[in-house]
């Protein structure tokens, strides 16, 4: 119920985008978050990059893929097959079978730990090798090679399934980052929220350091004190915030850390301890799947502070709704025309360029 007055919000109406959202309530708002925006200008007109940055990206939640299940997923402009073997391990291959091109995620099945194609039952391991052809005496040598069907390095951490993407299929350069709270029995299971945002990853990354939009899109009464640090492949933004609550002002902080293009967290302290685990993954050149997963200490989420804890989550989701109104139809400016009150767009773009293979051909990413 994103439309209810929010006890943790210190927002001052009326930023323009609030009018756009005011009639979208409850279920309608949830549907809007995932609906196609069919009248959006094409990606060339909007100057969206042709290239996806490399790194680890969330493609599913662990508890949404059962043993023996095959799922069709689409990311990086490609059809992929995701499955979980009998051994519990999640695996990802390109979806199209090397034999006759069936999409193995549609009608394929899990055989032991292998993916069986629905067309002629060839069976693949997670390296993309054919290990079995039930009607052939000999498996062609080419089919036995690794990446006969291209394979995707896959990891499962933070109750999420991640794949490593690199346009040249270079092996992972770093490990996905693990957040201790997601394994802590004293913290709640995820509260999950999803959007399609019709823009590029780089534009989403700019949004986090765009300090001047907080007033005009999110209604912040003043620009909070920010500290930004760029360190190798991570970027931290720490903001000191005053929350308005029924008990008066409460001092708090928001620490947002980006660990590469696909993994980031925001920690909220002060009013209601909250960890937001974000996963933003490109589906196509102008489509991002955004996952927000919130966890909070159980003592807080189930105790007297439960209403505030829920309100904070609602407020954070509303902020992404507000950003989405702009980003769905936004054109990328290279470079943007900036002024002295803006965030460090130039520094952020320099930081972000390390994740593009065309600009960083032999990755020299700091540990």
Number of residues that bind Fe ion (CB under 5 A): 2
Q: Which does 323 bind (CB under 5 to 8 A by kind): ligand FES, Fe ion, none?
A: Fe ion
Q: Which residues, in sequence order, are CB contacts of 288 under 8 Å at separation 6+?
A: 196, 197, 198, 199, 200, 201, 204, 280, 281, 282
Verify binding: residue 109, ligand FES, rule CB under 6 A.
Answer: no
Q: Which of these segments, 3-11, 117-125, 255-263, 308-316, binds ligand FES (CB under 6 A)?
A: 117-125
CB of 205 to Fe ion, least distance (A): 12
Q: How far apart are the first and last CA of the chain?
A: 42
Verify binding: residue 323, Fe ion, rule CB under 5 A.
Answer: yes
CB of 122 to ligand FES, least distance (A): 4
User: Can you tell me whether residue 161 is helix, strand or coil?
Assistant: strand
CB of 150 to ligand FES, least distance (A): 15
Measured on CA atoms in the order 108, 110, 115, 120, is the torsion positive or negative? Answer: negative
Residues 205-224 that bind Fe ion (CB under 5 A): 207
Q: Which residues, in sequence order, are CB contacts of 14 under 8 Å at separation 6+?
A: 219
CB of 120 to ligand FES, least distance (A): 3
Report CA-CA distances (Å) from 116 to 51, 148, 287, 320. 32, 14, 30, 40
- Site pattern 73..102 for ligand FES (x: CB under 6 A): ------------------------x-xxxx
Would you say 100 or 222 has its CB closer to ligand FES?
100
Q: Number of C-alpha atoms within 13 angstroms, CB side, residue 160?
A: 26
Mode of pairing for the β-strands spanning 78-84 and 90-94: antiparallel
Residue of the chain from 75, 83, 122, 259 that contacts ligand FES (CB under 6 A): 122
Verify binding: residue 124, ligand FES, rule CB under 6 A.
Answer: no
Q: Which of these segments, 31-39, 159-167, 200-208, 243-251, binds Fe ion (CB under 5 A)?
A: 200-208
| Structural contact between residues 258 and 355, judged by C-beta atoms closer than 8 angstroms | no
Which residues contact ligand FES by CB under 6 A? 97, 99-102, 117, 119-120, 122
């Amino acid at each position: 119920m994103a439309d209810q007055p929010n006890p943790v919000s210190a927002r001052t109406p009326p930023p323009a985008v609030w009018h756009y959202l005011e009639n979208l309530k409850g279920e309608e708002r949830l549907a809007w978050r995932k609906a196609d925006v069919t009248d959006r200008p094409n990606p060339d007109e909007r100057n969206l990059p042709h290239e996806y940055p490399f790194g680890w990206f969330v493609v599913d939640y662990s508890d949404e893929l059962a043993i023996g299940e095959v799922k069709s997923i689409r990311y990086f402009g490609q059809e992929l097959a995701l499955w979980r073997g009998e051994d519990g391990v999640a695996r990802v291959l390109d979806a199209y079978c090397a034999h006759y091109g069936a999409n193995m995620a549609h009608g394929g099945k899990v055989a032991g730990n292998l993916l069986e194609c629905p067309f002629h039952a060839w069976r693949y391991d997670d390296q993309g090798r054919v290990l079995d052809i039930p009607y052939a005496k000999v498996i062609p040598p080419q089919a036995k090679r690794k990446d006969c069907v291209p394979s995707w390095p896959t990891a499962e951490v933070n109750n999420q399934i991640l794949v490593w993407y690199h346009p040249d299929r270079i092996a992972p350069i770093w490990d996905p980052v693990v957040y201790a709270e997601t394994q802590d029995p004293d913290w709640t299971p995820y509260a999950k929220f999803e959007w399609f945002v019709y823009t590029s990853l780089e534009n989403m990354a700019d949004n986090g350091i765009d300090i001047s939009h907080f007033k005009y899109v999110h209604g912040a009464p003043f620009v909070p004190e920010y500290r930004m640090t760029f360190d190798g492949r991570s970027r931290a933004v720490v903001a000191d915030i005053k929350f308005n609550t029924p008990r008066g002002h409460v001092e708090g902080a928001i620490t947002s850390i980006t660990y590469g293009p696909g993994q980031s967290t925001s920690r909220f302290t002060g009013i209601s301890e909250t960890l937001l685990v974000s996963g933003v993954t490109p589906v196509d050149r102008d489509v991002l799947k955004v996952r927000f997963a919130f966890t909070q200490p159980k003592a807080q989420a189930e105790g007297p502070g439960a209403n505030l804890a829920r309100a904070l989550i609602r407020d954070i989701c509303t902020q992404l709704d507000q950003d989405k109104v702009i980003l769905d139809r936004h054109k990328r400016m290279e470079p943007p025309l900036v002024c002295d009150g803006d965030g460090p767009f130039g520094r952020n773009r320099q930081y972000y360029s390390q994740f593009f293979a065309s600009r960083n051909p032999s990755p020299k990413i700091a540990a």
